[in-house]
Every structure is written in C-alpha cells, then in structure tokens.
Amino acid sequence: MMLLPREDPADALIFRKDEIKSQPRIIDASSPLRRSQLSGRYPEACFVNLGGDLASRLEALASGQCDALTVAMAELKRLRLPEDPRFDCQRLAPDEFCPAAGQGLIAFEIRRDNPLAKRLEPLIWASAQKAMDAERKLQQLIAVDRFDVAGAYVLV
C-alpha cells in the first residue's frame, strides 16, 4: 500500500449563513462517530442521513432540509469547492472532535511484482504511512470494527 500526503483530517460542520450556529435542530450526519460526538455538543439535535454526493447535500442544506451537515475537510479541499456565499464552514479540530481512523489519507495498492511499483515508491509518504499504521493498530487493540463508534488520529 502506498500513501499520498495526508490532507486535513478534521471534520467540518457546514451551516446556512442565516442559521443560528449555537443550536442546529437537524444535522445531516451519516457516520455514527460524527453523530455520537455532535450529540454531545448539540444534545437537542436530531440527526438525519440525507445521502448523496456533497453537491446534493449542500442543496438540501440550502433548501432547509437540515440546519447543518458534516463533511470531511479533506473532501472540501480535494474537491476544491469555491466559497459559497450561502454557507459558513466550521472546522472541528481533531484534538476536540476525533476523526475516523485514516481520514484525510489516500492510499493505493499495487502488487509488489508489478514493474510500476518500484517507480511509484517515491510517492510514498512515510509520515502518512506511520499515522495510518498507528491508527489501524489502535483499532485492532481495542477491537473496533466498522460498526463501532471510535475515532483515531495520530499526528506524526
């Protein structure tokens, strides 16, 4: 497995500009981890899973189907979305709002016997690999599976 440099691993909460950020009533969050952490911050909120790509979720937010939505900062940055005057974005710092293990990483796999593997080696980022290995190890140690609510973030 080869890893590219890690993008911002934080999550983000996106609000309509006209929304009161102190108490969103309906939050689009499909991840059990995000829901769990946000329920501590917004105990009165109801969580929904609107599904779809980010563009359709943003349109749902704009139309009032929810008051806020969650998304990975890495997704926002990699998609190079322009600033949208309808929305405010609040970055949820990883030291306060633990992201999912591996969030912000892009990995690709190639067979070791593939001649291309040797040529791709310079693309491997050791710090990203160390972070991913440590986050995976933590999940193994606490026996986390994909249905558990547990985040992991290692800063290398």
Could you tell me the domains of the chain? 11-92 (3.40.190.10)
- Residues 65-104 have pLDDT tens digits of 999 999 999 998 888 776 788 899 999 999 999 898 889 9
Alpha-carbon torsion 53, 59, 64, 68, what sign?
A: positive
Mean pLDDT in the chain?
Answer: 87
Residue percentage of the chain with pLDDT more than 90 = 44
- Which of the 8 DSSP states describes residue 6? P
Cα gap 156→130, rounded to integer Å: 7
Stated as kind and residue range, the H or E segment containing 58 is helix 54-62
Tokens of 24: 């969103």
- Residues 43-56 have pLDDT tens digits of 999 999 999 999 99
Residue 95 has a CB neighbour count (10 Å cut-off) of 9
Residue 86 has a CB neighbour count (10 Å cut-off) of 14
**Nearest 5°: CA angle at 102, between 101 and 107?**
155
